[in-house]
Chain A
Amino acid sequence: MPVVKALTGNESAAHGAALARPDLIAAYPITPQSSVVENLAQMLADGKLSCEMVEVESEHSAMSVIQGAALAGARTFTATSAQGLALMYEPYFRMSTLRLPMVMAVAGREMTSPETIWGGQQDTVSLREAGWIQFYVEDNQEILDTVIQGYKVAEHQGVLLPVNVCYDGFFLSHLTEGVEIPDQEQVDSFLPQYRPQHVILDPQRPMAVDPMTPGNLLMKYRRNHLEAMQTALRVIDEIDADFYRVFGRRYGGTIEEYRLEGADAVLVTIGSMTGAAREVVDLLRDQGKKVGLVKVRVLRPFPLKRIVRALRSAKAIGVVDRSVSFGWNSGALFQEVLAALGSQGMVMPAVSFIGGLGGADISNDHMLKALTTVLEVSANQAAEQETVWLD
């Protein structure tokens, strides 16, 4: 029987990873991620988990040990944050371009400098062009469930890509919530054992992995990778629906639409801030205001079609970023939503909001300010707006 326990976000990630029966875990401690791996190490010490655990000397080696094991055929897991992710970058990029499936939990943290250890999404958002699938989740139950979904997506034969499950550092990593832990048997039936088909380092099937590759062939690899990303959009939605049939929970696949019926003003959110946005939408709906919400659950691949469809009837939108895009006076998600709309010839007033950097709160008041601003813009169809800082 599934049990409900009070779990932190990091404990939820650890339980999700353990239920996926990884062959090998390699990780290096960093705030706010550390307790993910501490929990897994304790499960191992208690005999509740059976796998290889490699306590490496850096995140660079964590990713490298995993890469070697994955090339030998292992299902692998790691977790990190911010500077650790930055240190991993070299083998990180290679994991996706070698088309090696895995799941990495990221307790999102602001990038230094100024020196900081607190929450933010700058670490993973900055890596959105490294070829990984990136989920951004809203609460602890979704962390656990998405780790399990993530393996199924990553190992899908039409996808074969590594997956990041990103959740806001401290806001979720250290927040305790009631989380339902599924049965191992249920998870086993949902997530069969991984069998590598496309690449392997094994004397029984000798092959050269990654010989020098000329540009014309490399372009074919890139093109296949891009196509796999597009396939993943469909696969993520399908697997979310499959997950619902087995476990009774679903998250909308790549995006979740919330109270969009007849909405003039729509807010687009990502990550744990979505909770505050939901409350404010409910509040304004109670006052008869036509407002709604789109939660972007998957940033890579970018769910262009579903976002465009969800925003089609809006008169104005606002996008709230928990990171910045240097060089644009806005966040990255804002630019990507505009690009998606523009690619379909849709032009509408749009406001960029930035908040919650370096562990700052995005409160209900902030969300109220944001949604009220978008409502005003939708009413008078105002011209271009400056980015609004939720500070």
Chain B
Amino acid sequence: MNLQEVFYGAEDLISPGLSACPGCAGELTMRTVMKIMGKNTILGVPPGCMAGAGVVGWNRLSGAKVPITIPLLDNTASMLAGIRRYYQSQGRNDVRVVAFAGDGATADAGFQALSGAAERGENIIYICYDNEGYMNTGFQRSGTSSKGSNTSTTPVGAMRKGKAQHKKDLPLLLAMHNAAYVATVSPAYVQDFVRKIEKAKEVTCGLAYIHVLSPCPTGWWFDPKDTIKLARLAVQTNFFPLYEYEDGRFYQTVSVKQAKPVQEFVSRLGKFKHLDQEAIADLQQWTDRRANLLQRLCAESPA
């Protein structure tokens, strides 16, 4: 794939001047996704960082050049399913309906609606930018916050050391719903990213789910210039493996030959700085176990 061909002349459909934080991977992902989706798209962005940054608009101004709305925190998938169903019934199948939702609106409050939409095979494209918490409102814990995260609702003190549970695995859950297409993507692996977004765009039957790990300098506490570096480290440590699922089969799309220790990723993030060796070993074990499971799932599929 020639990325120049993909992006040459592609219009930025998101307004300039969004007030996202410096180094925000979410905004970068959203702009890139929308360049690929194009103008014939209806965008739903529930409450979260991107809505807070102004993409749905402010006052009487829009933050996007496509029709856009802000679903409730907990109904993005069902609301967008309604839009898509109506366009299908009118024979306007070319109108794409895309969700760009944070992990809180996806894994927690919005999970029931997403689960129902996936089970029914609603033909929407659902993109979750996972920054591992409610970052827009000051980093409260979410179902996808990593174990040990120092969040404002799981703070570190003498008695407690951050979030006590591991991360909920959304892409695997969506695969188990038999979604038409599921993929994990990283802003550090652009070829892989673009190929998967283009694939999701072509799904005409059933739900396409894309999960992007979205490093957050403000909440994770790292230098904004390191966003892409950290996104890459998450993949290279197997903390966030890149794979896709379709027709009942899993494929690892970026293979990591010699995975780096998770510590290399964890030690760069302020939210983990209190972790002792035991806690880091726990994260390593969780990472290994998941990588292992994924390997076994992929082993059933051709390379």
Chain A residues with CB under 8 Å of chain B are 23-24, 26, 51-52, 54-58, 60-61, 64-74, 90-91, 94, 200-203, 205-214, 217
Contacts and interface: CB of A to CB of B under 8 A. Distances in A.
Contacts of B40: 203
A73 B81 CA distance: 14
Contacts of B116: 56-58, 61
Chain B at the A interface: SS class: mixed
B248 interface: no
A57 B113 CA distance: 7
Nearest to B113: A61
A214 to B, nearest CB: 6
Interface of B: 39-42, 54, 56-72, 74-75, 78-89, 95, 112-113, 115-117, 119-120
B82 A203 contact: no
Contact of B69 (A26, A57, A71): A71
B68 A209 contact: yes
A205 B113 CA distance: 27
A311 to B, nearest CB: 41
A23 B81 CA distance: 14
A211 B83 contact: no
Contacts of A91: 72, 75, 79
B4 to A, nearest CB: 26
**Residue in A65, A74, A91 with the greatest tally of chain B CB atoms within 10 Å:** A65
A213 B72 contact: no
Given A61-B112, A61-B113, A203-B67, A69 B58 contact: no
Contacts of B65: 206
Contacts of A73: 86
Nearest to B95: A203
B75 A201 contact: no
5 contacts: A64-B78, A69-B85, A71-B83, A207-B67, A211-B70
A201 B64 CA distance: 13
Contact of A214 (B57, B59, B62, B87): B59
A208 B68 contact: yes
Given A57-B112, A74-B89, A211-B58, 12 more contacts: A51-B89, A60-B74, A64-B113, A67-B79, A69-B86, A74-B86, A94-B72, A201-B69, A203-B42, A206-B64, A208-B56, A210-B70
Contacts of A214: 59
Chain A at the B interface: SS class: mixed
Contact of B82 (A65, A94, A208, A209): A65
Contact of B62 (A58, A64, A200, A207): A207
Contact of A72 (B54, B74, B82, B117): B82
A343 to B, nearest CB: 36
B246 to A, nearest CB: 24
B118 to A, nearest CB: 10
B95 A69 contact: no
Contacts of A64: 71-72, 75, 78-79, 82, 113
**Residue in B61, B68, B119 with the greatest tally of chain A CB atoms within 10 Å:** B68
The 6 closest A-B pairs by CB, nearest first: A211-B57, A68-B82, A57-B116, A208-B62, A64-B75, A65-B82
B72 A211 contact: no
Contacts of A72: 42, 82-83, 86-87
B59 A211 contact: yes
A100 to B, nearest CB: 11
**Residue in A58, A67, A68 with the greatest tally of chain B CB atoms within 10 Å:** A68
A212 B18 CA distance: 13
Contacts of A206: 39, 62, 64-68
Contacts of B84: 68
A217 B61 CA distance: 13
**Residue in A23, A70, A205, A209 with the greatest tally of chain B CB atoms within 10 Å:** A209
Contact of A211 (B56, B80, B82, B86): B56
A174 B157 CA distance: 59
Nearest to A26: B82
A68 B89 contact: no
A208 B69 CA distance: 6
A208 B85 CA distance: 20
**Residue in B80, B113, B115 with the greatest tally of chain A CB atoms within 10 Å:** B113
B42 A60 contact: no
Nearest to B61: A211
Given A56-B116, A58-B116, A60-B113, A208 B57 contact: yes
Contacts of B42: 72, 201-203
Given A60-B113, A64-B75, A52 B85 contact: yes
A237 to B, nearest CB: 32
Given A54-B82, A64-B113, A203-B42, A212 B54 contact: yes
Contact of A212 (B41, B56, B89): B56
A57 B82 contact: no
Given A58-B112, A67-B79, A212 B57 contact: yes
Nearest to A217: B59
Contacts of B119: 57
Nearest to A70: B82
A91 B79 CA distance: 10
Contacts of B68: 206, 208-209
